[in-house]
Amino acid sequence: MTDFTWYFREATLANLRAQEGQIPVNRFRRFTGKDAHGERPPSAEAVEAVLRGVLTQFERACAVRFTRDAYQPERHLTFEFDMVFQDHHATGMTLAECTHGTGGCAQIVFRDDVRWTTGGWLTRLFTPGAWDLRTFALHEVGHALGLRHVDEWDSVMVHNPEDHGVVSKLSARDKARLVTRWGAAA
């Protein structure tokens, strides 16, 4: 069993809570209220619940375990997730990204100027311009665990997850790749 620690930076949680009820207009300006479709950004608790669910899927698929912890930059663990929402530096339509730092650390960044939803495919279907957080979190955590892009429409590791709708669970081939890399779940 390989143990990993994941966390939000506390500033990220505070920022998410402060933004509840606010709609991103662009990366420089925000206004209070609902958008034209009556939607509000997901709460910090809803985001955390989605991320916990994503990590649980990986725990059930292979021999890894994730523990939520407080952000402590001075600690040197073998592997950490730093899931943050921020003004993203990526160009084009990159909505989320996994980067690897030193010591086996990974940072997963979700753009904060994107309309994320935590309600799955039905919410995305009725919320134009929204992106499913679960789909992208599955994809980026897959990268953090060493999975690469594949040309399989049902895989969380498909090249462009946004082109394939909502992928809410690991495919059988995703699980097989994880077992090859990390061992079978207990």
- Rounded Cα distance between 74 and 29, Å, is 33
Query: What is residue 117's predicted lDDT score, i.e. its pLDDT?
Result: 79
Give the span between the Cα atoms of 8 and 27, in whole angstroms.
Answer: 20
pLDDT at 53: 93
pTM of the model: 0.77
- Which of helix, strand or coil describes residue 122? helix
What are the extents of the domains in the chain? Answer: 2-182
**CATH architecture label of 2-182:** 3-Layer(aba) Sandwich (3.40)
Residue 37 has what pLDDT?
45
pLDDT string in tens for the chain (186-residue length): 888 777 766 555 556 666 555 544 433 334 334 444 445 667 777 888 888 899 999 999 999 998 877 666 555 444 445 455 555 455 555 777 787 755 567 778 777 667 777 876 666 566 667 778 888 889 989 998 989 999 888 899 988 766 666 678 999 999 999 999 999 998
112-151 burial by CB neighbour count: b if 16+ within 10 A, else e?
Answer: bebbbbbbeeeebeebeebbbbbbbbbbbbbbbbebeebe
